[in-house]
């Protein structure tokens, strides 16, 4: 049955340090736990180079000494193992009230995968799921990772899509703890592709999958 799309505030075309984005997400999530009637939010951004580990992630998947390195590393409350963010990788942070969608975390993960698969289809690429592994794959190589945190059915964290990043940063880790499969970026299939063009397709596919009306927003002041 069709229904009027829920509103979703869209913050787009942002480059932001990881910890600033993390604090912003937490603030958005906390306010929506207290006031569940607030609009959903989608943040699309890129990060300066940073490594993040899920709350239960193992350091055995990091190939450098965390205590003596020069890289930015953070352990945060999402699920999943270690991953890498950098410019050229498009990161999406949905702050959704799943009570308005479906109160099912497996459904939510599959919907995020569906968004990414639809984005790839725009470029005539066949994104795939691999049973028991979260994320999206192209020809057996991982191009999109997903890690979430949900509190009172309000989501935070989200997904990352390798569009045109410097892939060298992934060589210092075992991405997502998966040692027998490689990571890849869209530029290997579509030379010259940029995050600027993919942002619009990603926002549109996200709105389609979650049946949302996106409302463009300007960047707030982040203290």
CB atoms within 10 A of CB 1: 2
Could you give phi then psi for residue 165, rounded to 5 degrees? Answer: -80, 165
Active-site pick, 8, 86, 176, 205 = 176
Q: Beta strand 6-15 with 212-217: parallel, antiparallel or unpaired?
A: parallel
Q: 135 near 160, Cβ under 8 Å?
A: no
Helix then strand then coil, % of the chain, to nearest 5:
30, 35, 35
86 is catalytic: no
Query: Rounded distance, CA 133 to CA 29, Å?
Result: 26
Q: Which residues are catalytic?
A: 176
């Amino acid at each position: 049955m069709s229904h009027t799309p829920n509103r979703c505030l869209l913050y787009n075309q942002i480059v932001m340090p990881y910890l600033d984005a993390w604090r912003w997400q937490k603030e958005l999530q906390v306010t929506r736990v207290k006031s569940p009637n607030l609009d959903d939010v989608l943040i699309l951004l890129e990060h300066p180079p940073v490594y993040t580990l899920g709350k239960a992630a193992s350091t055995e998947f990091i190939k450098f000494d965390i205590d003596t390195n020069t890289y930015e590393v953070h352990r945060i409350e999402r699920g999943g193992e270690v991953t890498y963010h950098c410019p050229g990788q498009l990161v999406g942070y949905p702050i959704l009230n799943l009570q308005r969608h479906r109160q099912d975390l497996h459904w939510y993960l599959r919907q995020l995968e569906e968004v990414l698969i639809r984005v790839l289809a725009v470029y005539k690429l066949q994104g795939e799921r691999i049973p028991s592994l979260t994320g999206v794959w192209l020809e057996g190589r991982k191009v999109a990772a997903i890690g979430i945190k949900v509190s009172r059915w309000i989501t935070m964290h989200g997904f990352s899509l390798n569009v045109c990043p410097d892939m060298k940063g992934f060589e210092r880790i075992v991405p997502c703890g998966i040692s027998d499969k490689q990571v890849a970026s869209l530029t290997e299939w579509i030379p010259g592709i940029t995050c600027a063009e993919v942002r619009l397709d990603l926002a549109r596919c996200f709105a389609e999958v979650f049946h949302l009306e996106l409302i463009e927003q300007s960047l707030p002041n982040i203290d």
